[in-house]
Structure 1
Amino acid sequence: MKKIVKYTVLAIISLPLLLLIAWNVSVSEEFLKETIEKKSVHAPYSLKLNGFNKSIFIPFKVNIAEIKLLQDKTVMAVISDAVISIKLEKILSGNLFFTFSGRVSSGAVNLTYTAPLLKPFEKTLTAAIDSVELSGLGFIKKAGIKGSGLMSGNFTLNADNKGDGVFEVKKCHFEDFHGGGLYLPAKYITEITGKLSTDTETVNIESVYLTAENISCRISGKIINGSLDVSIQIMPDADFKDKTILLLLKQYEVSPGVYVVRIARKLSFLNFPF
């Protein structure tokens, strides 16, 4: 009995050392880099990793100087100073748990992923972004949106790809949007708040409120397989003085002082990478 206890204690003490040896000897940096690049996103998206370094003294930890997310050849986002870490103590308790952190467009992004090793589909993914400058994102430029704003928010994704999240954009400075026969008076927007949810392949835009001077806007609808189907309700106050804007919105008027813009079209930048 004493020998069993002795060997058990010895095995527990030796396990982290054995894992560290296996991490440094059996898992090459090139293999890890290629695996992350090829398996993390699907076409037409791709990842390009620069400055990839596997931690020598901490098993299951990787540092990446720069991650480029591309759609075809267009850079959609750049994440710098990224760190990926798998928690050893969680693996020993039967769970896969890893964290990801980095800097993106002057802001921060943090992810956590957890799932039972024997039931990987019972996953929970949480994501949080803080003060990400929209003007530095390729997604925004490809959408034809010109301007800036600081975006923060959080999102949780559970099993069966069901999730929900909230976000806000502060210090907005946008130019009016013209495109595809559509006009929106975006220059008046000062702040945006929104709530989203997902169900399998559908992103439900439950409510997005645009705060503006003497004018209010609400967006609702959904995104399915890269197709946008939303309604934008615009309601100027009686004090709204830009009569030119009202003339441009006249075609969307559904009742006195209420305008509804319907957008239903396929947009390539809405094909999500994950």
Structure 2
Amino acid sequence: MSATAVRTRPHLVLETVIVLGVSLGKSAVYSVLNIIDRLTYQVPLSQQTSTMNSSVTPDRPWLDLAYQLANNLLPFCMPFLAIYLLWRVWPPRANPWRAIGLDGRRIRRDIAWGTGIALLILGPALGFYLLARHLGINTTIVMADLNAAWWTIPMYCLAAFQNGFLEEVVMIGYLTTRWRQSGWNPAAAIVVSALIRGSYHLYQGFGGFLSNLVFGLLLGWLYHRTKRLWPLIIAHTVIDIAAFVGYALLAGVVDWL
């Protein structure tokens, strides 16, 4: 091992800390504070609500659309920053897109794998959420709370893709690549990444933490085996589209949501 590599390794770990500090790591910190707030509030956790995809200015749909576009487009800067860092700072042997499995060589297979993964996860994920809420360890999650407009469903789909792209590029593709370059054991990288993923979902309750911890472990393992990131992004996107759009369509029809 060269002296340059030895000196660079700690810098790569510091780089990941900084990237997390301005992205999902920051969300994890606020989520931990949020669950402390919820647990010390006079209302039990099971009687509290977590709202996602809510309108900002419901009385002015045109301005609300602008807010939603900003909320769902600006976060793309973080995964592109991570890819840029992989390209400019101690890059892997292949170009960064191919190195983390974001190239288009196997796009049809990636779509098929991603959709299959999503279909396998959707049922157990919904069942675990309902169980966690029944046990009193999770809030009631309002997945979709946008005012009805022509752009509502497309915005849910954009939010779903943004979530999938941001989380899988940063938490799986970028972090595991950097930690592998820093000499980490792959299993340790997968576990730490999954723990961070679970942490920034703590605002939903302990059910959200546990389900996303397991989700992160599964995706980390799949990535370690396949080195393909697109199937994970597609699976995450499909799951979120089903959650957001499904909730919007069914919330007023069924009472168990």
Q: Please tell me whether Structure 1 or Structure 2 has the larger radius of gyration of its CA atoms.
A: 1
Provide TM-score, normalisation by structure 1: 0.23
Question: Higher helix proportion, which one?
Answer: 2
Provide TM-score, normalisation by structure 2: 0.24
